[in-house]
Amino acid sequence: MADYRIVDLNTYYRRGVFRHFTEDCKCSTSMTARIDVTALVERSRKTGTKFYLNFLYLLSKVLNSRDDYRMGYLWQTDQLICYDVINPTQYVFDEETETCTPVYTCYYADYGTFYRHALEDLERAKETGGYALDAANHPNWFDASYISWLSYDALNIELPDGYPYYIPIVNWGRYREEGGRLMMPVTVRLNHAVADGYLVANVYRLLEREMATFCEQGC
């Protein structure tokens, strides 16, 4: 079972907001924005690594960088919890069946370790296939889905009203050239009880910072 700590709602810095959006106005908040991935694409090409996995690593690093993005719901005791680590659920598309296979990948802070395991997970999933979704045994995995067929402008992920799902859901589409730069749409969905516009927007700011550092330091 995943390691976590129970959040004390009496001292939780967002306790007023949490109460409002779990009792009065149960909803989520999502945002789509384009980010500049020019440098990351170039770094991936130069190093012969997959852009997709490099971005997945940086996204996982960002979402593990602060408690707000690692929140979860313990339904057995109706408690807000914060996971020590959250991991990405990536997907493999099967051209024949036109369905996706969930791939549970563990997050490692070390880039090389993460990349190697993530690539192995992808290759294994290509061989096995099937929609083997196992959320019950993967409570601290967040949904990280690449929509490779489209460079979209907006996307919404809807969950049942009032459903206490606090783990992030992140989608991204194809990058496209705009003004000589490669821009990629990224959509971030979070439950409004644990996140507001600042925290959602901050994911993009952190991604841009981590990408810049990653590309400056090399792989």
Which has the minimum average pLDDT: 83-87, 93-97, 118-122? 93-97
The percent of residues in the chain predicted with pLDDT above 90, rounded, is 81
In this prediction the pTM is 0.95
| pLDDT single digits (tens) 137-174 | 899 999 999 999 999 999 988 777 667 999 999 999 99
CA-to-CA distance for 9 and 14, rounded, in angstroms? 8
Q: Is the pLDDT of residue 38 over 80?
A: yes
| pLDDT single digits (tens) 103-113 | 999 999 999 99
Residue 184: which pLDDT band, with cuts at 50, 70 and 90?
very high
| pLDDT single digits (tens) 190-207 | 999 999 999 999 999 999
Identify the CATH number of the domain defined by range 4-217. Answer: 3.30.559.10
Q: Is the pLDDT of residue 215 over 70?
A: yes
Hey, where are the domains in the chain? Answer: 4-217
